[in-house]
Amino acid sequence: MNVIDKNISEKGHSFLRDKFGTDSICSYVIDSKKYDRESFFKYYSKARLNLEKIGGKGKSCLDLMNSSVEEITNEEKQGKIKWGVDKYNFD
């Protein structure tokens, strides 16, 4: 998770920094308007697996991330999401 947080901080493409002054992995999901659907769900899958590995300590973080992804999924079902075309860099 630290690697992803570091990447977010270095690349400077986090709306959370501007809005809340933080780059917390728990509340961050990649921008669906910029990145494609595959990148969005791949990012979520990687983060979710890491949070599940740490068990109870990651529960509140995982719950927050799951809520964000659930909201995006619901918006997609309603036709409210227009996915971007960029591929997210997972290095």
Residue 14 belongs to some domain of the structure: yes
Range of the domain at 67: 2-77
Residue 71 belongs to some domain of the structure: yes
Distance CA 31, CA 56 (A): 27
Residue 13 belongs to some domain of the structure: yes
Judged by phi (left if over 0) then psi (alpha if -120 to 50, else beta), residue 67 lies in alpha
Q: For residue 75, what pLDDT band results from cuts at 50, 70 and 90? A: very high
Domains identified in the chain, total number = 1
pTM: 0.67
- Percentage of the chain with pLDDT > 70? 68
- Percentage of the chain with pLDDT > 90? 29
Long-range contacts formed by 61-68: CB under 8 A, 24+ apart: 61/25, 61/26, 64/26, 64/27, 65/25, 65/26, 65/27, 65/29, 68/27, 68/29
